[in-house]
Amino acid sequence: MKHDDCITRRRRALGFSLVEVMVSVTLSGLLIAGAVEVFSQSSKTYNVHETASRLEENARYVFSVLEPDVRMASYWGLMKGSAGIVGASAQTAVAAGALAGAAATLCGNNFGVDLNMTLEASNDAYALACPAWHARPMPAADTLTVRRASFQPTTIAAATAGPLRICSTRLSATLVNVANVATICPATPVGAVNDLIVHAYYVDQDSSATANLPTLWRKSLSIAPTFVDEEILPGVEDLQVQFGIDPTGNTGSATQYVDSLAAAALPAAAQIVAVRIWVLLRAETAEQGFVDNRVYVYANRAVANGTVTSLTAAGNARKAYAPRDGFRRLLVSRTVMIRNSLGT
């Protein structure tokens, strides 16, 4: 046996040297650390995209609820406009009495039967007389109320009690809580019966399942008739509304967009022909290592008036919003034209 062969066999029997083992361990550690870093970054990127996609999906859903409702404001079945609806009563008038029950009084005097006020909003405050969910409305958010008839006629038997309804013909309309097809509500095609829709949208600081998760809610006219709270979507932090105004009331074109208080002070001839809506959506959970450093300027929230870090603590709601927390957000705006703004 040769000497070189003996040396080779001896080395094989002894295994790897300490230096070789250390190099191998170091290289393995580097490879594992790299793989972990790649996985961590991929996971973080996925979570960011997932959160952004969820916010966009939520925005689409919110407007799928708001837009058709607002667009149909001032629709009253076969009747043009609400001025001649028998049984309607302004909020400034004497209480409507037993016709509407709690629907007329729960959220304010004649709130459920003020059919001439087809669109109504509060500016940077919760102004409904009925309490919000858990009595914790978002203090600086607007509210938006829509009054109209249901798009689809209601098929009911004569003298059927139920929710408030609009019985209409081409010449007249009546608000009823018992639809008598033979007299007050002529049968189709002469007449039509539609449910009365009253929706008051607002933002609360809680969802039905999670405290401190801002949520879009609405007060909705129910069968009783009364108002009940319906949860629209968790993660809505702010709702802002401005009305598009046609000063002459006969063109159907908005020449200015104003807050609700300014709209109420306009001349009687002016008409609301559009609604501009801002919705600020927030992720449901904070993201580790992320800080939202954006300054949100929208509606009447302006940097010139300063900034606030919390909408619930906004003393002056005209300030811009700079949250500086770990929640991702998405601000979405849409302008909705009112199909029946001129009573047609």
What is the per-residue pLDDT across 157-213, written as a single tens digit (0 to 9) for each?
656 666 788 999 988 999 888 766 556 777 778 888 899 999 999 999 999 999 999
Q: In the prediction, which pLDDT does 72 show?
A: 94
Domain that holds residue 183: 41-337
Q: pLDDT for 130-143, tens place per residue?
A: 999 989 999 999 99
Confidence band of 255 (pLDDT split at 50, 70, 90): very high
Q: How far apart are the first and last CA of the chain?
A: 111
Q: In the prediction, which pLDDT does 160 show?
A: 63
Q: Is residue 11 part of a domain?
A: no
Q: Is residue 36 part of a domain?
A: no
Q: Is residue 8 part of a domain?
A: no
| 341, 271 Cβ separation under 8 angstroms | yes
How far apart (Å, rounded) are the C-alpha atoms in residues 159 and 169? Answer: 18
Q: Is residue 5 part of a domain?
A: no
**What is the dihedral sign for C-alpha 152, 155, 158, 162?**
negative
Q: Is residue 31 part of a domain?
A: no
Q: Is residue 107 part of a domain?
A: yes
Q: How many domains does the chain have?
A: 1
Q: Is residue 6 part of a domain?
A: no
Sort residue 299 into left (φ over 0), alpha (ψ -120 to 50) or beta: left
How far apart (Å, rounded) are the C-alpha atoms in residues 322 and 292? Answer: 8
How far apart (Å, rounded) are the C-alpha atoms in residues 311 and 211? Answer: 16
How far apart (Å, rounded) are the C-alpha atoms in residues 101 and 29? Answer: 75
